[in-house]
Structure 1
Amino acid sequence: MTLDVASIVGLAGSALMVIAYAYSNFARQLNFVLFNLLNLVGSLLLIWSLTVHFNIASMALEIVWAVIALLGLAKAGRKT
């Protein structure tokens, strides 16, 4: 396996999403803007990576993940 740019971008996206998950489990008080931004950027990086190394199931998951993150950001924005 070659570690190309798309793979590195995908790994970075995965890392951001894992960081968001860990943050949601260990933070005393969750900052929903930060949480959803990490998830959104992570999913967008993975979507970009998947345009090079396509997988329909992963692409569908990341699109849904991005939509949920956008809705979470919109909800957090309405509260401020």
Structure 2
Amino acid sequence: MKRTLVGAAVALAALTAAGGAEAKGCIKGAIVGGIAGHYAGHHGLVGAAAGCAIGRHRANARARQMDQQQMGSSAQPVSAR
């Protein structure tokens, strides 16, 4: 129990220290990874860290894809009448 509380405190401190843009995707990934890590051999902290990294990667990839779609749609030429 004590180990879980310390882990939660460390995770909370890390999340509050991260900026808003850096935390995008991290919180959801950390929660899912922490739960999965806990049930896969009591490695909740390792799972939370990995989940955070994966969540951030996916959020950044999604943001890049949205930027490319917006640039692609705004770069189309306007047809002449």
Give TM-score, length-normalised by structure 1: 0.33
Larger Rg: 2
- Highest relative contact order (Cα 8 Å, sep 6+), 1 or 2? 1
Give TM-score, length-normalised by structure 2: 0.33
